[in-house]
């Protein structure tokens, strides 16, 4: 999924051939991130853009690419990859993009999308001279208005021990063709530096990656991400989600890769080795890292009541929990490539320094408890005729396996369909798992998903999915077994390469607790209707205009919720010489209730994605510019302005701001080598 952005090139932007700069790619990437963000969590999406940058800077040589190389292009489904490899095997190298037209499933539109991502060199790229390359980033962010947490309360010092500036630095360098190093450091607003037991910046991490691609294929020391099967057991990157990319539900994450994510709760840190031959790989990995835990020290030992996931270390309480427990992971992943199939098996052991014992509640009765757990998984994917199957079976201290199986098939040239089934036992625990499920945890869920993409006449594409899910145990804030539907339909109209219109409708229903004065626990059906219309016009390489309107309606029995609305206009200008660009957006939001919030992607500095939930009443203005001062030196500046009309304060607690206006600045510098 992490390479899902590339599909945007086709799905969301018809102007790919007009303008193929990184900045444009960034805009396309925003769409998918926005779609994914509607699930409402705080995933780190920065690596999404990293992948697209990599492919833009180093297009894939179609004549040398292996199946794994082609897997990086999410535009290509499993069947298309098989067909391409077979055609190349029979007829030899391709000379140009046009020669791909003869391959089954390669439409004209697909070729347009592929063009910036592939090259057709016959010679081996490795034979060219290597030049060390890399970049370094410095970023800061702060708000003009000062939250209460930075101010003394009477005689007491401020609650936040640090200042209100975010500091971020990242360095990544390919020293040789096989050796890469990376380093990242970050201090969130309010986090102290060089004091309160924080040795330097609050978060520092890095990696050294050696990739000889011989028997030893790769070694990573430091921070990395790893993914297995369909993510039931192992998914340390972003899990696949329901999105506008309705037929993209297969786990497309890299099996493993180094990482510079600053999300302190995902990813692994330690040693990863990968070795093998042409048709198999064996990847043992170890991760030992400190985690933040809410500890309870008792006479009979220390227990963890919960693992913290917010990554903040601003107050004394947060600092006390900083890196106060250890998490160990040991595992191995084996892959075997058998003609058109990939077989995978793996096992991992997850261990905590202290037992995890969350306060017992009916809904969390089957949550992971104790110090350690084991997971084993088996996975299979490959093509059969005109279908591509992908599946995983996983075990966890129980004989009842978790199952996830899907199939992609193309009944015709203009249509692709996908169907999947999942069934995860209530007592299945995989602390590092994140499969394609409705709930964030997945355990106790079964469901059936069906999606399609259909090319209609008049340059209209219909994308749709239906997902039926059932929870076989209580959920957080739901004292009943339940089920629900999630339906999405999107029409994309692209009359020409410069202009596209999107009409998207989403319906969701699920059961929720209702308030009650008595001793009963009534539940009711919560229904949600979301409608979005967006028109984007990019008349030239320089200009782009996007107008968007969202309506969000939520109905809960016994509760009156006004419909949420967002209306905004964005203008973007790129200097013809790519020396500078500027983007501005103005929008109004009217979503009194948080239930009807609207997720809106905001333009941001490179490698930073933000899709905040807009709610309340007010207006939002953003202006951002990027300048290339001298060759390989870029500067970003961004100003954001919130003006609420229905409140006198913003946020609460230590982040409370006694104003209805919030202004924020961001600056970033990048030096490329």
Partner 1 sequence: MKHFYLTFFIFLSVNPAFSQGVLFYSPVDQAIGRTGALTSSGWSFFSNPSGIAKNDVASAGVGYYSGFHIKELSSRAAFVNIPTSLVNVSGGFMHYGFEHYGLQQYSLATARQLAPWMRLGVKFNYLLRHQTGSEKFGLTTLDAGVQLEPDPKFAVGFYVVNPARMQWKLHDWNEYHPSAVSAAFAYKPTVFFSLELGVVKSNEYPAEVSFAIEVPVHEMVVLRGAMVSKPLRLGFGAGFNWPTIGFNVAFNHHQTLGFSSAFGLLFNVRSISGRRNSQS
- Interface residues with partner 1 (CB under 8 A)? 495-496, 498-499, 533, 535, 537, 539-540, 542-543, 545, 547, 549, 562, 565, 567-569, 571, 573, 582, 584, 586-588, 590, 617-619, 621, 623, 641, 643, 645
Residue 202 CB, nearest approach to partner 1 (Å): 34
Please state the closest distance from residue 23 (CB atom) to partner 1, in A.
Answer: 16
d(CA 565, CA 596) in angstroms, rounded, equals 8
Closer to partner 1 at the Cβ: 421 or 621? 621
Would you call 427 exposed, middle or buried from its count of C-beta atoms within 10 A (0-12, 13-18, 19+)? middle
- CB 650, min distance to partner 1, A: 15
Q: In the bound complex, what is the minimum distance in angstroms from residue 617's beta carbon to partner 1?
A: 7
Query: Cβ 598 to partner 1, closest distance in Å?
Result: 13
Residues 535, 275: Cα–Cα separation, whole Å: 49
Closest Cα to residue 626, out of 20, 16, 18, 23?
Answer: 23
- The least CB distance from residue 196 to partner 1, in Å, is 39
Least Å distance between CB 383 and partner 1?
A: 40
The residue among 645, 589, 592, 635 whose CA lies nearest residue 600 is: 589
- CB contact at 8 A, 401 and 433: no
CB of 582 to partner 1, least distance (A): 7
Whose Cβ is closer to partner 1: residue 178's or residue 617's?
Answer: 617
- Closest approach, Cβ 583 to partner 1, in A, equals 10
User: Which of 130, 197, 135, 137 has the alpha carbon at shortest distance from 166?
Assistant: 137
Residue with Cβ nearer partner 1 (14 or 283): 14
Helices 22-37 and 46-57 sit at what angle, rounded to 10 degrees? 150
Cα–Cα distance, 519 to 152 (Å, whole number) = 44
Q: Which is nearer to partner 1, 91 or 540 (CB)?
A: 540
The smaller minimum CB distance to partner 1, of residues 571 and 635, is found at 571
Shortest distance, CB of residue 573 to partner 1, whole angstroms?
A: 6
- For residue 646, give Cα distances in angstroms to 374, 619, 655, 660: 51, 11, 18, 8
Instruction: Of 585, 578, 618, give the one whose Cα is nearest residue 604.
Output: 585
DSSP secondary structure code for residue 657 in this structure: B
Cα separation, 224 vs 169, whole angstroms: 18
Q: How far apart are CA 318 and CA 311, in angstroms?
A: 9
Q: 421 or 499, CB closer to partner 1?
A: 499
Q: Which is nearer to partner 1, 88 or 498 (CB)?
A: 498
Residue placing its CB nearer to partner 1 in the complex, 292 or 550: 550
**Residue 151 and residue 170: Cα distance in Å, rounded?**
30
Neighbours of 590 (CB within 10 A): 20
Closer residue to partner 1 in complex, CB, 336/499: 499
Of 485 and 533, which has the nearer Cβ to partner 1?
A: 533
Query: CA of 522: how far to CAs of 337, 515, 517, 557, 645, in Å?
Result: 52, 7, 10, 10, 35
Structure tokens at 284: 């043992």
Q: Which is nearer to partner 1, 121 or 542 (CB)?
A: 542
Q: Whole-angstrom distance between the N-terminal and C-terminal Cα of the chain?
A: 29
- C-alpha span between 414 and 429 (Å, rounded): 40
**Pick 512 or 567: Cβ nearer partner 1:** 567
Whole-number Cα distances in Å, 622 to 182, 447, 588: 31, 40, 12
DSSP 369-416: -EEEEEEEEEEEEEEETTEEEEEEEEESSSSS-EEEEEEEEEEETTEE
CB of residue 547 vs partner 1: minimum separation in angstroms? Answer: 5
- Compute the least distance from the CB of residue 32 to partner 1, in Å: 23
Closer CB to partner 1, 485 or 537, in the complex: 537
**Distance from C-alpha of 308 to C-alpha of 18, rounded to nearest angstrom:** 46
CB 647 within 8 A of CB 616: yes
Nearer to partner 1, 397 or 535 (CB): 535
Smallest separation, CB 596 to partner 1 (Å): 13
Rounded CA-CA distance 376/589 in Å is: 47
DSSP assignment string, 173-225: EE-SSSEEEEEEEEE-TT--SSSTT--SSSEEEEEEEE---SSEEEEEEEEEE
Give CA–CA dist 2/48, Å, rounded: 5
Shortest reach from residue 659's CB to partner 1, in Å:
12
């Amino acid at each position: 999924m992490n390479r899902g952005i590339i599909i945007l090139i086709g799905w969301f932007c018809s102007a790919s051939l007009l303008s193929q700069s990184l900045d444009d790619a960034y805009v396309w990437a925003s769409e998918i991130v926005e779609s994914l963000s509607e699930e409402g969590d705080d995933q780190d999406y920065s690596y999404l853009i990293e992948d697209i940058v990599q492919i833009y800077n180093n297009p894939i040589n179609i004549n040398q690419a292996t199946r794994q190389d082609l897997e990086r292009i999410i535009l290509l489904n499993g069947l298309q990859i098989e067909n391409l490899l077979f055609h190349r095997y029979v007829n030899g190298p391709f000379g140009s993009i046009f020669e791909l037209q003869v391959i089954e499933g390669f439409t004209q539109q697909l070729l347009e999308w592929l063009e910036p991502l592939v090259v057709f060199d016959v010679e081996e790229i490795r034979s060219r001279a290597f030049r060390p390359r890399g970049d370094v980033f410095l970023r800061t962010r702060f708000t003009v208005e000062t939250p209460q947490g930075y101010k003394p309360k009477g005689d007491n010092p401020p609650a936040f021990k640090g200042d209100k500036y975010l500091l971020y630095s990242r360095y990544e360098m390919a020293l040789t063709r096989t050796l890469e190093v990376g380093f990242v450091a970050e201090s969130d607003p309010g986090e102290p530096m060089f004091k309160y037991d924080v040795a330097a910046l609050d978060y520092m991490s890095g990696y050294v990656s050696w990739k000889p691609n011989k028997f030893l294929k790769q070694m990573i020391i430091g921070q990395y991400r790893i993914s297995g099967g369909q993510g039931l057991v192992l998914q340390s990157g972003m899990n696949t989600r329901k999105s506008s990319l309705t037929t993209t539900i297969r786990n497309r994450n890299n099996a493993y890769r180094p990482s510079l994510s600053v999300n302190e709760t995902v990813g692994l840190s330690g040693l990863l080795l990968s070795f093998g031959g042409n048709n198999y790989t064996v990847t043992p990995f170890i991760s030992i890292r400190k985690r933040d835990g809410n500890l309870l020290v008792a006479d009979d030992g220390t227990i963890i009541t919960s693992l913290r996931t917010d990554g903040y270390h601003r107050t004394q309480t947060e600092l006390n929990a900083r890196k106060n427990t250890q998490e160990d992971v040991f595992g191995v992943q084996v892959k075997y490539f058998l003609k058109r199939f990939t077989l995978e098996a793996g096992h991992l052991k997850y261990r905590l320094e202290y037992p995890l014992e969350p306060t017992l509640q009916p809904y969390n009765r089957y949550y992971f408890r104790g110090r350690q757990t084991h997971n084993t998984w088996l996975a299979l994917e490959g093509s059969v005729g005109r279908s591509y199957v992908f599946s995983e079976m996983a075990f966890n201290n129980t004989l009842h396996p978790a199952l996830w199986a899907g199939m992609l098939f193309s009944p015709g040239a203009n249509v692709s369909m996908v169907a999947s089934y999942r069934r995860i036992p209530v007592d299945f625990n995989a602390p590092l798992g994140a499969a394609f499920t409705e709930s964030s945890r997945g355990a106790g869920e079964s469901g059936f998903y069906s999606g399609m993409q259909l090319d209609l006449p008049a340059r209209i594409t219909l994308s749709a999915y239906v997902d039926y899910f059932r929870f076989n145990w209580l959920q957080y804030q739901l004292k009943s077994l339940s089920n629900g539907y999630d339906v999405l339909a999107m029409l994309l109209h692209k009359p020409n390469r410069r202009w596209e219109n999107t009409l998207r409708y989403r319906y969701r229903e699920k059961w929720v607790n209702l308030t009650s004065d008595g001793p009963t626990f009534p539940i009711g059906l919560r229904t949600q209707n979301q409608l979005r219309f967006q028109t984007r016009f990019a008349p030239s390489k320089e200009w782009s205009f996007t107008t968007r309107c969202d309506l969000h309606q939520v109905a809960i029995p016994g509760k009156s919720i006004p419909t949420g609305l967002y209306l905004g206009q964005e203008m973007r200008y790129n200097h013809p010489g790519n020396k500078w660009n500027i983007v501005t957006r103005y929008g109004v939001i009217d979503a009194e209730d948080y239930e009807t919030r609207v997720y809106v992607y905001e333009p941001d500095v490179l490698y930073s994605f933000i899709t905040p939930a807009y709610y309340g009443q007010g207006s939002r203005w953003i202006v951002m510019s990027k300048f290339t001062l001298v060759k390989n030196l870029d500067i970003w500046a961004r100003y954001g302005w919130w003006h609420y009309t229905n409140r006198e304060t913003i946020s609460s607690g230590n982040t409370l701001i006694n104003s209805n206006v919030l202004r924020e600045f961001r600056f970033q510098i990048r030096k490329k080598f």
